Amino acid sequence: MVLLAACILLFITYSLLIIYYWQSWKSIPGFDPSGKTPTTKISVIIPARNEEENIGTLLQALQQQTYPREFFEVIVVDDNSTDATTRVVENFPGVKILRIKEDQINSYKKKAIETGIAAATGSLIVTTDADCLPPPGWLNTIAAFKEEKNAILIAAPVILSSNHTFLHEFQVMDFMALQGITAAAVHKKFLNMCNGANLAYERNAFYEVNGFTGIDHIASGDDMLLMHKIAGRNPGRIYYLNSTDTIVSTQPMKTWKEFFSQRRRWASKANSYKDIKIFLVLILVYLFNFSFLVLFISGWWDKRYWAWLAGAWVLKTLVELPFFYSLNRFFNKKMNPLNFFFFQPFHIAYTIIAGLLGQFGKYEWKGRKVK
């Protein structure tokens, strides 16, 4: 009965958290840049390593931006690519290309972004990844929003593309939920997530907090940990941009191994958060998911636990479904709710495994071993 009571308490607390995120997501005002003529100078920073297959598509999309070309520049920072990435970039006139030298560092991406910002002339830094694809109104909408809100940092939406395989569909649903939580949390100034694939911040703000100093030993966190540093000085000027004109699409991981490696990298920064509230939320989510494993194991001694496990599976789905539907509409995805139900065990399993392994040892990222 103690075990059952603990599971019920975790479920109730987790449900309240999800409902809070859902309601917060719905309360974010939309933004329409119509009628606005922004003039903010933007520097788009793109770290790239072995992206010959993707970066050309991104650079073509940047050429098609509705924002006047004189108001933005594109800087690609090559991170020791061993393929034709730099040759592809050189085919795009006006794109700056920089290179970083491989060194004994643990976060190559932060080094690449830092290098790009040092060469930037824009007052607003916009970061994205080499495998991303922004819509034509992306930069114009970001600039208009920045000027209207006097924002110092802007988190914006990201979605995964999919070829409709099991792995891709699972990642799309999982990532969409993470994006919804990001939006809700940033809107409520509870800064527990953002994504460097679609992030903007003032160049001066980056240098005011000494850039990545203090977090440069962590492989990930070029987005969220930097947001925390900037929020320490300007918490009221951080916003989430709720606009379909700024949805950046990116590629899912191609294999389960790559997927787990990515999630381990994301989880590895969990012990670097200074805000106790964020840590408590992470612990709650982890323990809630871990309770499913406990119920499954306990069922080998008492089969009633398996009945409770099945009930928890259904209830978890029902609690999360309204939030999922809202996100589904915003991102214009036609996701089957039955898949949402059947993906639950995989989501629970990866949360437990990646959350644990992310705190130990090394993992592979872009062909390198980092920790």
Residue span of the structural domain in which 282 resides: 2-24+273-370
Q: Which range, of 125-129, 347-351, 355-359, averages the lowest pLDDT?
A: 355-359
Round to whole Å and give the CA distance between 180 and 263: 17
In this structure, the answer to whether residues 83 and 215 fall within a common structural domain is: yes
In this structure, the answer to whether residues 65 and 170 fall within a common structural domain is: yes
In this structure, the answer to whether residues 233 and 301 fall within a common structural domain is: no
pLDDT for position 368? 56
- Token output for 87: 């040759």
In this structure, the answer to whether residues 208 and 286 fall within a common structural domain is: no
Distance set, CA 260 to CA 178, 183, 267, 352, 365 (Å)? 16, 24, 10, 11, 11
Model confidence pLDDT, tens digit, residues 253-279:
888 888 888 887 777 666 666 667 777
Does 268 fall in a domain?
A: no
In this structure, the answer to whether residues 290 and 182 fall within a common structural domain is: no
pLDDT for position 144? 96
User: What residue spans of the chain are helical by DSSP H?
Assistant: 2-26, 55-63, 85-89, 108-119, 138-149, 166-187, 203-208, 224-231, 256-267, 276-298, 304-330, 337-342, 344-357
CB neighbour list of residue 343: distance below 8 Å, 6 or more residues apart: 169, 170, 173, 174
Does 218 fall in a domain?
A: yes
Based on the structure, what is the number of domains in the chain? 2
Domain-ending residue, one of 261, 281, 300 = 261
How many other C-beta atoms lie within 10 A of the C-beta of residue 186? Answer: 25
Distance set, CA 100 to CA 77, 79, 80, 112, 202 (Å)? 7, 6, 7, 6, 23
Q: Which long-range contacts (CB under 8 A, 24 or more apart) does 262-265 make?
A: 262/365, 263/350, 263/354, 263/358, 264/354, 264/357, 264/358, 264/363, 265/219, 265/220, 265/358, 265/363, 265/365, 265/370
**Predicted TM-score of the model (pTM):** 0.88
Domain-ending residue, one of 261, 288, 323 = 261
Does 266 fall in a domain?
A: no
Does 267 fall in a domain?
A: no
In this structure, the answer to whether residues 18 and 58 fall within a common structural domain is: no
Does pLDDT of 103 surpass 70?
Answer: no
pLDDT for position 314? 94
Round to whole Å and give the CA distance between 136 and 277: 37
Model confidence pLDDT, tens digit, residues 224-237:
888 988 988 887 89
In this structure, the answer to whether residues 128 and 227 fall within a common structural domain is: yes
Does 78 fall in a domain?
A: yes
In this structure, the answer to whether residues 13 and 100 fall within a common structural domain is: no
In this structure, the answer to whether residues 233 and 179 fall within a common structural domain is: yes
Does pLDDT of 363 surpass 70?
Answer: no
Domain-ending residue, one of 261, 287, 322 = 261
Question: Please, are residues 246 and 141 in contact by the beta-carbon 8 Å criterion?
Answer: yes
283 vs 43 pLDDT, higher one: 43
Model confidence pLDDT, tens digit, residues 273-318:
666 777 788 889 999 999 999 989 988 888 888 999 999 999 999 9
312-328 mean pLDDT: 93
In this structure, the answer to whether residues 360 and 225 fall within a common structural domain is: no
In this structure, the answer to whether residues 8 and 55 fall within a common structural domain is: no
Query: Identity (one letter) of the amino acid at 159?
Result: I
Does 305 fall in a domain?
A: yes
In this structure, the answer to whether residues 235 and 251 fall within a common structural domain is: yes
> Judging by DSSP bridges, how do beta strands 199-202 and 153-155 pair with one another?
antiparallel
Model confidence pLDDT, tens digit, residues 153-204:
999 999 998 777 889 989 999 999 999 999 999 998 887 788 889 999 999 9
